Amino acid sequence: MKRRDFLKHCSVAASGLVLVNVLPSYAHAMLKEGNLPLNKSLFEIFSNPENHYRPFVRWWWNGDKIEKSELARELRILKDAGIGGVEINPISFPSRTDDMNKPSVDWMSDEWIELLKFTLEEAKSLGMTCDLLVGTGFPMGGDFLKKEECSQIVVIAVKKLKGPLTTEFSLFDLYKEADPAITSPYSGRTMEMMEVKLVPDPLNSMDEVMNLSDQIKNGMIKVSIPKGDYAIYGLVKIQRFMSVIQGAPGGMGPVLNHYDTAAVKKYFNRMSDSIHQKIGPLAPNVRSFFVDSLETEGTNWSNDMMSEFKRRRGYDLYPYLPFVLFKIGGMGNTTGQNILYPVKSGPEFKKMIDRMRYDFELTKAEIFEERFVHTFVQWCKDNKIKSRAQAYGRGYFPLEGSFDIDIPECETWLKYGIGEDISEEKFTQYPWHLGRGNTMINKLVSSAAHLKDKKLISSEELTNTDMVFNESLEIFKIAGDQSTISGVTHPIFHGFNYSPPEAAFPGWITYGGYFNEKNTMWPYFKHYTDYRARLSAVLQQASMFADIALLAPFTDQWSEYGAQMEPFPVMVSPAYQALIWESIHQNGNACDYVSERVINDSEVKKGFLTYGKRKYHTLFLIEVHSLDTATASKLHDFVSSGGRIFCIEATPDRSTGWNNYEKRDREVRDWVTKMQAYPDRFIFLKKPASDFLGWYKTVQEKYNIKPYVKIQSPKTFVTQVRYQTDKADLFLFNNSSSKHNAPLDITFEKEVIRHKRAWLWDAATGKRFRLELPEGRLHIDLGPADSKLIVFDHDRKGIVWKDSPLTGNNSTELNNTWDVEFRHYDGTIKKEELNKLADLKELPAYVNFAGTVVYRNRFQSGDKSTINYLNLGIVYGICEVRINGVEAGTQWFGRRIYPLEGLIREGMNDIEIKVVTVMVNYMKTLKDNVVAQYWTNQKKKDQPLQSMGLAGPVTIY
């Protein structure tokens, strides 16, 4: 240890603050890295989480119209709401919003850096952590970049013709056709015609292609078309084709070329050097540098792309490139036009092009990983700051992109359908995964982290572009629990908008959830941040268990359809892919995704495929047709040593890529033939027509895939995940339905529970309760949106768990008249009597209400010992209850059942129930508010009216 670092550690430890637990988050992290114990039990970490375990927020500095006083105010608002840290994220000023003539501060200017320094110092004084976005908006770039440092793309223009015909084309017409319909084109883009070809339709051989490039004169090309169907193919290179999406002043302009190491280094160093020269090193006041969405819109080119391709793949791709490429649309995705856009190909020609397309996608992914990801990671190390990144996008390795990142990140979204009953058919038709908050990439990124033994896995959490002003804590919980089940241990909410209190209502909103002090739910937000903090705190101490591996057919997908824009691809192949991992978890097992690189780098030991600390006894190949020869060989070693492979719908029958493929195809088939000599361990499975949950349960039972927890009657909306520490096993069970109860009859494997005591740790309250598990069996009831954390450890003493029943003896419904007070968001108050409780959406006078509704009633009690519980029935919103003037508590999700011990008196009892509603029904009525109308009434954002209030029935028993 260097002398300076030794003194730092000594000064922190000697302060005595370790014992009283008031160190700022960065100091705790420093001590942990130095292996100095904090002397806390796992339950103490869980029950009272420190700041660095708390959820963070993406903090948009809108237009960088920032001032010190407001920066300080907002940090304190966030701290009070239970937020542990901020991701400083400069972004463009939102349209449709009045900026009150506040000036912007240019990113990386001296004034901006001074404001950054002030923010870091304020956050440190509050014990909060700061991350810092690299660049502004996404992906990174700026007007200061030289032309050769900007992103490039090579695209095709296709014009179909019928001969015989003599015609003339302007290159401008081809440029116009080639110009991709991306989200954020740069106005200064320049185009270069690389070549023009005349192609017959259909195309069976390159011998049929005629190069017309030498016929270009004065920007025109004259061509004679023989009889038949033909197409003109133009291959066009566009430089500086894309602009930074929502860049702030100082960071707007063309996007960086992520395939150019020198340009990437220069960009990073420009940022760190500018800051260091002004205020010195950012470490340790900045925890991590963050790279946001790598939505590079299909960028595919660098000046040495073809020479690198030839060096890596062993042949020249350039003559075939026009046929490898697809037409590009929004976000760089391939478009639906690709079915009709190019000429038809004969089967042999298509097979060749598909293999070449895979080689091109592989080459791009390798170059991106080497030149951008590795460069970013090294820059972070040089600055003694952690790397955090969403290292995925179109054409980047879904797993390997995250391997070197200190804090790999995925993303979880809010959208209509979460909590609802979603059929498998709808789920597989919708690449965003209708009904799920977690996206496809979550399981891939978390698997990558587990393979590298990382416990800190962040998520751009609760991203919201569909349900703005309809944020409820219950839907936060459902989506957040789905995120946790998929492997997330560190949520970063999307997001908190820098917005002065004097800004016109509803404030400055870039996008994302309405995380704002003016939201009706904001005073209760800490209930949710406490909940997520406790889960994060305990799961970051543990390792997620998995002994089953999945290999997705990315090779085949890249070959036939091209690399997709993860996490929202146009094409999911096969469409049911995510149902496999979900069904495994729903049936009491657990899995990771792996890749061919992971398999090749693994060791085979006693029937296990071992990669680092991960060990898998079973591997599912999901419609995998293509394998690298080294992968096929390793899989044979795995099967022959006792491991088991299930091939779903397909058995591998070919190799990857083009060069020398016939020899490699034979090798793959030979290895598969050898594996088929073990029919009990190399098994072909047909996918089910429906009911993947039941299908996997049948496979589990038939082939004795032993679950660590046996679930008697699994359900698609109930799933689980298992984590382990040296001394404890943790199981999180999650009900993602907003409507259905889920009685769980489960039996834990004896090896798990031997010599340990079972506990229920309540993440909503921080309390724990002892569970009695005869023969390892537990019956527990999961209400809607409910979750249960079951922990097995060596603690012995504690209060026995007692569930709150749905009903009981002497049940009485409070069906007399309710006195109701409507405290509207607009400040008005109205009182009236309701003879019957109802959803406010169904009451014409209150359908557009937003705010707090107070319900009051009275009930008679002869013997107070006979009244133990209050069940509010259906509640749409957050509810607080007072009995005889005494607080009974706040509940914000699922069943609203209140224990009444010590609250009931004999005779007359008064009950008061406050229900806080969402805002969207009210926002839809604000016709003169442009921001409100944009998010609630316009086009795809035309939101449905939401249920609100206390619908009951309210019963006591």
d(CA 32, CA 44): 16
Say if residue 198's pLDDT is above 90.
Answer: yes
Residue 543's pLDDT band (cuts 50, 70, 90): very high
What per-residue confidence (pLDDT) applies to 141? 98
pLDDT surpassing 70 at residue 707: yes
The token duo for 237 is 């290179």
Q: Is the pLDDT of residue 16 over 90?
A: no
- Residue 334: what pLDDT? 85
User: What CA–CA distances, in Å, run from 658 to 358, 421, 867?
Assistant: 8, 45, 76
Does residue 9 have a pLDDT over 80? no
Structure confidence at residue 330 (pLDDT): 86
Indicate if the pLDDT at residue 385 is higher than 80: yes
Which tokens sit at 288? 């991590």
Confidence of residue 419 (pLDDT cuts 50, 70, 90): very high
Give me the pLDDT at residue 32, please: 44
Mean pLDDT over residues 914-942, rounded? 96
Confidence of residue 118 (pLDDT cuts 50, 70, 90): very high
| Residue % of the chain over a pLDDT of 70 | 96
DSSP result, 575-634: TTHHHHHHHHHHTT--EEEE-HHHHHT-EEETTEEEETTEEESEEEEES--B--HHHHHH
Tens of pLDDT, residue by residue over 449-465, are: 999 999 999 999 999 99
Separation CA 697–CA 587 (nearest Å): 6
| pLDDT(14) > 90 | no
pLDDT at 24: 41
Phi and psi at residue 674, to the nearest 5°: -65, -40
Q: How confident is the model at residue 329 (pLDDT cuts 50, 70, 90)?
A: confident
Q: Supply the pLDDT for residue 38.
A: 64
Mean pLDDT of the chain: 94
Helix, strand, coil tally for the chain in percent (to 5)? 30, 30, 40
Per-residue pLDDT tens digits for 504-536: 999 999 988 999 999 999 999 999 999 999 999
The predicted-structure confidence for 420-430, as pLDDT tens digits, reads as follows 999 999 999 87
- Torsion, Cα 568 390 582 641, to 10 degrees, reads 120
pLDDT of residue 18: 33
Q: Is 710 exposed, middle or buried (0-12, 13-18, 19+ CB in 10 A)?
A: middle
The predicted-structure confidence for 562-600, as pLDDT tens digits, reads as follows 999 999 998 889 999 999 999 999 999 999 999 999 999
* pLDDT digits 0-9 by tens, 121-168: 999 999 999 999 999 999 999 999 999 999 999 999 999 999 999 999
pLDDT digits (tens, 9 = 90+) for 223-257: 999 999 999 999 999 999 999 999 999 999 999 99
pLDDT tier at 311, thresholds 50, 70, 90 = very high
Q: Report the share of the chain in percent with pLDDT over 90.
A: 91
